[in-house]
Amino acid sequence: MSGHNVWTHKGTFLLAAVGSAVGLGNLWRFPYLIGENGGGAFILVYALTIFAVGIPILIAETMLGRTSRRSPIMGMRHLTRTHRTFRAWESIGWLGALSAFLILSFYSVIAGWAIHYIWLMFTGSLLEADAQAIGEGFTALLASPALMTLYHTLFIGCSGIIVGMGIHKGLESGLRIMMPALFVILLVVLGYSVVNGDIAAAAGFLFTFNVADLSIEGWLQAMGQSFFTLSLGMGAIMAYGAYMTSETSLTRTAIAIAFIDTAVAMVAGLAIFALVFGAGLDINQGPGLMFITLPLAFADMPMGALIGGAFFILVLGAAISSAISLIEPVAAYLVERFDMTRPQAVAVMVVAAWAMGLLTVVSFNSWAEGTIFHALFKRSAFELIELLTNVFMPLGGLMIALFAGWALTQTEVRKELDTSTAWFATWRFLVRFISPAAVAFVFLRTLPGVEGYWLPAAGAALFVGLFALGQRQLARRRQPIQQ
């Protein structure tokens, strides 16, 4: 890959990966999981699993991108050929691209709601509104396909423009402005929460060490969060890694990404729950916390319209930074494979994802229930697409770990990591055994009907099979090349 396709600044990959990792889930899901699963106990389990699962796979995926210097699909094709591995490993690239496409389609719809609330906040429409009025307003938004389609179009169009402008003028320039601005807004909202909310109650909810509240399900959620929060298995990290300079340390960068991603979620949790507790409101999981409870908290607070508007700009910016990472893997492939210009490739990806997103739009209203779709799949179109991504991402992450640990030539991996013997041995052990086993459980938990005693049994069977595949791969490489 030519020099113009490498980040201009070493720190850009860090910003890009953090931008991909920090999204809507950091702002509403992760803080709620902490509070509901033992606070500090959940954080401890999460820290252990992010070290054993998230960071090793993050290093592996970044390494695949940087080694190949290609898009995920073309990169995996290149690596399977140069390392004499099974062609089946190429499916890693396709799984990532498909996951990115599907996630973008529904992520754009949900993120578009933030545009609606920015408008409502800055116009003062929600000032002194009561819970019923705000709840009815959110319901009215979901009931309007036209309004949701408008916001969906604006959001995905804006994200596409950034990616279409190129690696340096678009991605790099956008991230170098956007990410520091988002951190500043987050700190402003935190400061506002300290003054006007109940920061002590929020800290108690998030950080009290309560082992009794940490169930087996909580452990599994921590394991899943350590994987999903870093945007692994959807091609984004591999695509960004292709532009990473060779001098940048993979290990230090991965640790920094995990730390910043977690810190943002903690700060966001403190800010959000301080406002919620300060207003005496009930904690609610999911979109209801973001789009009903928080607007209600802002409605009764001094300068609530201004700070509330700034908060939803934060939500929108975090979503855009994630969305551009979803566009990049497929757009980069179209440029390489079909010799498209970058704007053409981005337009194809964005238009296709926009059209797919219409299924999510109607899932909240005209296709909400009682349709043929429900009869066939027992769930809405949005729920089905979300289920598919929750299967494809961990499956891709599992294969990335096994490919990096077993299929790649380890002398070349050692050279790429450029680290101490002790850490290389630790990383290789984690990425060969611990990370795949953990992600196998995450993968199996997403499958309908795999629960109870079936979960460990199926996980063990899958892991033994994949371990055998790795051993076969090693044996294949030891064979002399046939002339």
User: What is the average per-residue pLDDT within 220-231?
Assistant: 90
- Confidence at residue 479, expressed as pLDDT on a 0 to 100 scale: 59
Q: pTM for this structure?
A: 0.92
The pLDDT-based confidence of 469 (bands split at 50, 70, 90) is: low
Q: Are 350 and 327 in contact (CB under 8 A)?
A: yes
In the chain, % of residues over pLDDT 90: 67
- Confidence at residue 239, expressed as pLDDT on a 0 to 100 scale: 96
Q: Are 191 and 330 in contact (CB under 8 A)?
A: no
Tell me the longest C-alpha to C-alpha distance in the chain: 79
- For residue 28, which of 201, 273, 217 has the smallest C-alpha distance? 273
The pLDDT-based confidence of 1 (bands split at 50, 70, 90) is: very low
Q: Are 39 and 277 in contact (CB under 8 A)?
A: no
Beta bridge partners of 39: 209
* 481 pLDDT more than 50: no
- Confidence at residue 396, expressed as pLDDT on a 0 to 100 scale: 94
What percent of the chain is helix, strand and coil (3-state, nearest 5)? 80, 0, 20
Instruction: Pick the more confident residue, 72 or 299.
Output: 72
User: pLDDT per residue over 384-437, tens digit each?
Assistant: 999 999 999 999 999 999 999 999 988 989 999 999 999 999 999 999 999 998
- Confidence at residue 3, expressed as pLDDT on a 0 to 100 scale: 42
Hey, what are 146's tokens?
């036209």
Indicate the SS3 state at residue 209: strand
Work out the mean pLDDT of the chain and round it to a whole number.
Answer: 89
Q: How many CB atoms lie within 10 A of CB 372?
A: 8
- Confidence at residue 281, expressed as pLDDT on a 0 to 100 scale: 86
User: pLDDT per residue over 90-134, tens digit each?
Assistant: 999 999 999 999 999 999 999 999 999 999 999 999 888 888 999
Residues near 54 by beta carbon (within 8 Å), at least 6 away in sequence: 226, 227, 229, 230, 232, 258
- Confidence at residue 376, expressed as pLDDT on a 0 to 100 scale: 80
Q: Are 256 and 248 in contact (CB under 8 A)?
A: no
Give the phi and the psi of residue 429 in degrees, each rounded to 5.
-65, -45
